[in-house]
Each structure stands twice: as structure tokens, then as C-alpha cells.
Amino acid sequence: MSEFVEVHTSAQVPGVATLVLSRPPTNALTRQVYREIGEAAVEVSARDDIAAVVLFGGHEIFCAGDDVPELRTLIASEAEVFARVRHDAVQAVSAIAKPTVAAVTGYALGSGLALALAADWRISGDNVKFGATEILAGLVPDGGGLARLARTVGVSRAKELAYSGRFFDAEEALALGLVDEMVAPDGVYDAAIGWAARFVDASPAAMAAAKVSIDDIGALGPAERAAADHRRFAEVFAAGRDSITGR
């Protein structure tokens, strides 16, 4: 049973699940929390009753990043495990085979920012503070998180943010493309639910294929990407042939 991460569904919005991170007061991420995030990501990806997913840390704060006090207690071999568990959890969120949206409130710092970037879309309150803050604690961000940051804002700007660890506000995040929509703080979760609900009637196989095809753009070479696209098209066509042909 998970202690800090839960998957919520509601009869009022069928097909939409909320992956809720709840470790007050800041949702700081430990090895246990990361493992629970990974397990929840696998669950929502596999469930047929879920078509889209909202990532949510509560109405006060999304996530302030890694639990630095825990990190300070680790020996080198344990730190390697921490880094691997962190990477696997964020990758699991990125690999959810459904549309995902991060509902960002309060703060999204360090690995919290990386977690938000693993979603397909980000909706932020206009009072949120962001930052790739690991360097302020003498630490290094996860490489996957840095890669997503660089793809989103460009290499030079990603380096400036990672080197400085500075905080920046929601307006700058919107201008940088880190945030796709900015709303009043009280409207973040409802806006995220509304975004996710748009996709509940779409073909799950087609949505999953479209998502992975787009994600492959930066990961595969042209020939590999073309071969993967052709394979996925054939698989989706075969799975939905009756509806396509009207049979």
C-alpha cells in the first residue's frame, strides 16, 4: 500500500485519473516516494478505465524537489541507488501511455520541476515559483530532467537555469515554454481536469502511438523513427480496423 502517492478517480469525470503526491509540507522526494510514483505511473498506464492523467501535489505546493536531509545521510553506493530510483520514476511518468498534465501549484523546484516536465502539458498558477535548484545544495539534476529542460527552453537557457539554480516566476516560465497555460491559483486543478477530459473519448491505442511517436523525435535517428512509426501505424490500424472500415 502506498503511503505518499495515490491514484484517484471520480464518477464526475470518468476516464480521468489524478496521480496525487502527498508528503507534507513540501512533497519532498525520497527513495520511497520515487518508488511509489513509479508504481502509480505503471498502474495508470495499464488501467483500461483511465484515458488521461493529472499529476497533482495539492493546492498548496506541487513539489519542492529531492529530500536533501535524506540525501545527506547516504553513502556513495546509496546515492547511486537514489539517482537510479529517481531517474526510473520520472521516466515512468514520461512513459505513461496516455495524455498527462501537471497541475502546478506553489513551487516546482529541482526534481519537482523535472517531474512536471515529464508530463505532456503543464498548467500553472500565476503565483508559482520554479527553479532547477539542485546546484544550490551542491547536487546535480537527473540527466533525463536536464534533457527535457534543454528540449523545452533550449540548451543555453537550460544551462543558465541549471548553473544558477535561480528561482523564476510563472510569467517567465510561460515565456520560456516551461508552462503551457497560466491560470489563477484556485483554478489550477480544475483547468488540468478540463484539459485531460478532452481526450477520454479518443482511441487509446492511437493516443499512445501518437505520444510515443512525438517523444521518439529527439531519441531516435530518422531511419529508426520511420520504422517505429510504420510499425505503430500498422498495429493501431489492425487494432481499430473494424471501426475504420465501418464493419
**Are 115 and 94 spatial neighbours (Cβ–Cβ below 8 Å)?**
no
Count how many Cα atoms sit within 13 Å of the Cα of residue 21 in the half-sphere of its side chain. 34
Please tell me whether residues 128 and 191 are part of one structural domain: yes
CATH number for the domain harbouring residue 220: 1.10.12.10
Give me the DSSP letters along 10-70. Answer: -TTSTTEEEEEE--TTTT-B-HHHHHHHHHHHHHHHH-TT--EEEEE--SS-SB--B-HHH
Please tell me whether residues 217 and 164 are part of one structural domain: no
Please tell me whether residues 184 and 234 are part of one structural domain: no
The per-residue pLDDT for range 140-172, each reduced to its tens digit, is 888 889 999 999 999 999 999 999 999 999 999
The per-residue pLDDT for range 16-50, each reduced to its tens digit, is 999 999 999 999 999 999 999 999 999 999 999 99
Please tell me whether residues 47 and 136 are part of one structural domain: yes
Please tell me whether residues 109 and 223 are part of one structural domain: no
Please tell me whether residues 162 and 223 are part of one structural domain: no
CA dihedral 136, 71, 4, 32 (to 10 degrees): 140
Please tell me whether residues 110 and 160 are part of one structural domain: yes
Count how many Cα atoms sit within 13 Å of the Cα of residue 118 in the half-sphere of its side chain. 30
CATH number for the domain harbouring residue 69: 3.90.226.10
Number of domains observed in the structure of the chain: 2
Please tell me whether residues 50 and 155 are part of one structural domain: yes
The per-residue pLDDT for range 86-111, each reduced to its tens digit, is 999 999 999 999 999 999 999 999 99
The mean pLDDT of 187-199, rounded to a whole number, is: 98
User: What pLDDT, on the 0 to 100 scale, is given for residue 233?
Assistant: 46
All cell numbers assigned to 4:
505518499
Please tell me whether residues 193 and 212 are part of one structural domain: no
Residue ranges making up the domain that contains 186: 5-197
Q: Looking at the predicted structure, is the pLDDT value of residue 237 above 90? A: no
Please tell me whether residues 125 and 240 are part of one structural domain: no
State pTM to two decimals.
0.88
Please tell me whether residues 232 and 128 are part of one structural domain: no
